[in-house]
Amino acid sequence: MYFKQFTVEGMGCLSYLIGCPQGRVACVVDPKRDVQDYIDLARENDMQITHVFETHVHADHVSGNQELHSRTGAQICLMEGTPVDFEHTELKEGQVMTFGNARLEFLKTPGHTPNSMSILVTDTSRSENPWLVLTGDCLFVGDIGRPDLAGEELLDEQTQNLYNSLHKKLGVLPASLEVFPAHGEGSLCGKGMSSKSSSTLGFEKSSNPVLSLSAEDFTRQVKQGFPERPKSFTHIINTNKKGPPLLDRCPIIRDMSPQQVQEQVQRGALILDTRDTAAFGGVHIPGSINIGFALQTANWIGMVIEPEAELILIVTDQKAYEDMTVQLHRIGYDNIIGYLYGGLAVWQEAGYPIDHLWQISAEKLHNKLQSGKYDYLYDVRTPAEWATGHIEQARHLPLTALLKKAPDIPQDKEVIVTCGVGYRGNIAASFLQNQGFQHVHSLAGGMKAWINSGRPTIA
Residues with catalytic function: 419
Tell me phi and psi for residue 140, to 5 degrees.
-105, 175
| Nearest partner of 397 among 369, 424, 421, 366, judged by Cα | 424
Residue type, 416: I
Residue 216 sits at φ, ψ, to 5 deg, of -65, -45
CA distances from 311 to 264, 279, 323, 337, 403 (A): 9, 20, 15, 6, 18
Residues 6+ apart with CB under 8 A from 241: 57, 83, 84, 85
H or E element in which residue 399 lies: helix 399-404
Residue of 115, 68, 146, 75 whose CA lies nearest to 241: 115
Beta bridge partners of 103: 98, 122
Q: Provide the β-strand partners of residue 105.
A: 96, 120
- With 0-12 / 13-18 / 19 or more C-beta atoms within 10 angstroms meaning exposed / middle / buried, residue 5 is middle
Query: What is the distance of C-alpha 149 from the center of its chain?
Result: 14
DSSP per-residue string spanning 125-189: TT-SS--EEEEETTEETTEE--S-TT-GGGHHHHHHHHHHIIIIIITTS-TT-EEEESB-TT-SS
